[in-house]
């Protein structure tokens, strides 16, 4: 799969302690994206993913919804550089 694009998202709301990172990992793996997700000290979740633009858009749509117990209040999206990653990890 050609990695044409990369994006980084910061997800705000009730997104820690509700399985958000594992939700992101499952969705990214389904979409064949590489990258990672992690909790940040300010209560947000950071997501980095690389892959075809249409699949990144699909992931972005999922980030706005999140898992059942989450309450997403906002998602900031930034273009990023394509980094060498293999698979999708939870950090």
**Residue 78 domain flag:** no
Is 39 in the active site? Answer: yes
| Number of neighbouring beta carbons within 10 Å of residue 25 | 20
Residue 77 maps to a domain: no
Catalytic pick from 3, 12, 38, 39? 39
80, part of any domain: no
State residue 61's pLDDT score: 98
- CA-based angle 11:41:66, to the nearest 5? 25
Predicted confidence (pLDDT) at residue 3 exceeds the cutoff of 60? no
> For residue 4, what pLDDT is reported?
81
Supply the pLDDT for residue 1. Answer: 47
E strand or H helix that includes residue 28: helix 20-31
- The verdict on residue 64 lying in a domain is yes
pTM of the model: 0.94
The C-alpha torsion from 30 through 66 and 13 to 54, rounded to 10°, is: 50
> Is 21 noted as a catalytic residue in this protein?
yes
Indicate which residue of 8, 21, 55, 83 is catalytic: 21
pLDDT of residue 2: 58
Domain containing residue 60: CATH number: 3.30.70.100
Helix (H/G/I), strand (E/B), else coil: 19: coil
Quick: pLDDT tens for 29-82: 999 999 999 999 999 999 999 999 999 999 999 999 999 999 999 999 999 999
Instruction: Tell whether 89 is covered by a domain.
Output: no
Identify whether 10 is part of a domain.
yes
Answer whether residue 34 is part of any domain: yes
Structural domains of the chain, count: 1
Concatenated DSSP letters of 8-56: EEEEEEE-SSSSHHHHHHHHHHHHT-EEEEEE-TTS-EEEEEEE-HHHH
């Amino acid at each position: 799969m050609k990695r044409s694009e990369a994006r980084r998202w910061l997800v705000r709301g009730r997104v820690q302690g509700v399985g958000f990172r594992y939700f992101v990992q499952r969705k990214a793996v389904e979409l064949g994206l590489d990258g990672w997700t992690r909790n940040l000290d300010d209560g947000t979740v950071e997501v980095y993913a690389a892959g075809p633009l249409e699949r990144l858009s699909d992931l972005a749509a999922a980030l706005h919804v999140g898992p059942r117990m989450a309450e997403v209040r906002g998602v900031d999206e930034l273009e990023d550089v394509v980094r060498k990653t293999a698979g999708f990890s939870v950090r």
